[in-house]
Amino acid sequence: MIHKIEALLQQVEAFKPQAAAEIEEFRVRMLGRKGELNIVLEEFKKVAPEMKRELGQRINNLKNAINERIATLREEVEQQQTPEESQRDMTRPGTADAIGSRHPISLVKNEIVEIFSRLGYTVAEGPEIEDDWHVFSALNFPPEHPARDMQDTFFIQKNPDLLLRTHTSSIQVRTMEHQKPPIRVICPGRVFRNEAISYRAHCIFHQIEGLYIDENVSFADLKQSILYFAKELFGEKAQIRLRPSYFPFTEPSAEVDVSCNLCGGKGCNVCKHTGWLEIMGCGMVDPNVLEASGIDSKKYSGFAFGMGVERIAMLKFGVKDLRLYFENDVRFLRQFDSVF
């Protein structure tokens, strides 16, 4: 029996668990109801009385050795855990994921769409890869117009009839082809021009164009709609001024300026001391354009306008470099969280 106790003592000292779960298995094997210690104690009952004292002591030692070994091993396991793991409080609230915010260009686009929707406009969309007809020919661009020049427009090499739209006026043509007047659409979208990237130009930007066609639509309607838009976007004090201009698809045509919202029209760096900021092009739809899309130009008239969203956003937020809108630097983007 002494041998058995000695052998068990050796086992206890030599026990090196590979995993924490083995400690519990070991405890059960040694101290469990049918464990080694109880087996020894059973045998102990049968030993001669003169042996009991010594054996009893040895068994006691064994029991202590087992308990101590288990306690040490458990402690070791605990220390192997990182302090963070052992102190983990499962009842603490988790860390919330940061919520993203809308891109300033989307915010301004949505705001513009919203303003025109109050005037009864609905959103129309169209393809970014277009054909010559919808971007140029149907819009009264003569074949030799410089916008078709390889320097200005991205053409698709395999098929020169295909190109990246340079303006969203192509959506207006598509709308006129499929819809009878009255038409009131607003056309937001990405457009592409072969421009060198600088603080005020980019080869990709966003436009919003609008088209209104009905019987008896006049230039006065155009002017009033744009004044309403300018006041909604830049504030009640905003004024507009129209300067004669030229577009192949409108006649007469104009550039629209809005009174500078930064200096209130007095003159500052942003408005180059003129008190005015250019915001869009507009005009009465050329009868040739209406006819090209199958609309009777004797019965119907209409106006169109178009603006660059980046430009409006720069004026609205006082941002001086257009490239910031394309860099996706969150330090810049986060500032627009709650502008509207």
Chain residues binding ligand PHE by CB under 6 A are 167, 169, 209, 247, 250, 281-283, 304-306
Please give the Cα distance from 31 to 19 (Å, whole number): 19
User: Which C-beta is closer to ligand PHE: that of 79 or that of 151?
Assistant: 151
The least CB distance from residue 136 to ligand PHE, in Å, is 11
CA distance 286 to 169: 13
CB 120 within 8 A of CB 211: no
Adjacent-strand bridge partners of 240: 258
> What is the smallest separation between the CB atom of 116 and ligand PHE, expressed in angstroms?
14
Cα dist from 171 to 77, 120, 168, 183, 191, whole Å: 69, 18, 6, 12, 12
Written as one letter, the residue type at 249 is F
Q: Is the dihedral of CA 178, 176, 279, 218 positive or negative?
A: negative
DSSP E strand boundaries for 49-98: none
State in angstroms the smallest separation of the CB of 156 from ligand PHE.
Answer: 20
Helices 219-234, 104-117: crossing angle, 10 deg rounding: 130
143 cis-preceded (ω within 30 degrees of 0): no
For residues 166 and 132, the answer to whether their CB atoms sit within 8 Å is no
* Min CB(161)–ligand PHE separation in Å: 20
Residue corresponding to tokens 């408005």: 271
Q: How many other CB atoms sit within 10 Å of the CB of residue 318? A: 9
Question: Judged by CB, which is closer to ligand PHE: 66, or 301?
Answer: 301
> Are the C-beta atoms of residues 285 and 185 closer than 8 Å to each other?
no
> In this structure, is the dihedral angle defined by the CA atoms of residues 100, 311, 145 and 288, taken in order, positive or negative?
positive
Calculate Rg over the CA atoms of the chain. 41
Are the beta carbons of 275 and 265 closer than 8 angstroms? yes
140/250 with CB nearer ligand PHE: 250
Angle at 248 between CA 244 and CA 253, to 5 degrees: 20
- Rounded to a whole number of angstroms, the minimum distance from the CB of residue 204 to ligand PHE is 14
Q: DSSP string covering 177-206, please?
A: HH-PSSEEEEEEEEEE------SS--SEEE
Which C-beta is closer to ligand PHE: that of 66 or that of 309?
309
Closest residue to ligand PHE, judged by C-beta, is 306
**Residue with Cβ nearer ligand PHE (104 or 306):** 306
Q: How far is the CB of 305 from ligand PHE (least distance, A)?
A: 5
Q: Which one, 25 or 152, has the nearer CB to ligand PHE? A: 152
- Which of 40/309 has CB closer to ligand PHE? 309
CB 207, min distance to ligand PHE, A: 6
**Closest separation between CB of residue 239 and ligand PHE, Å?**
20
Instruction: Work out how close the CB of 147 gets to ligand PHE at its nearest, in angstroms, rounded to a whole number.
Output: 9
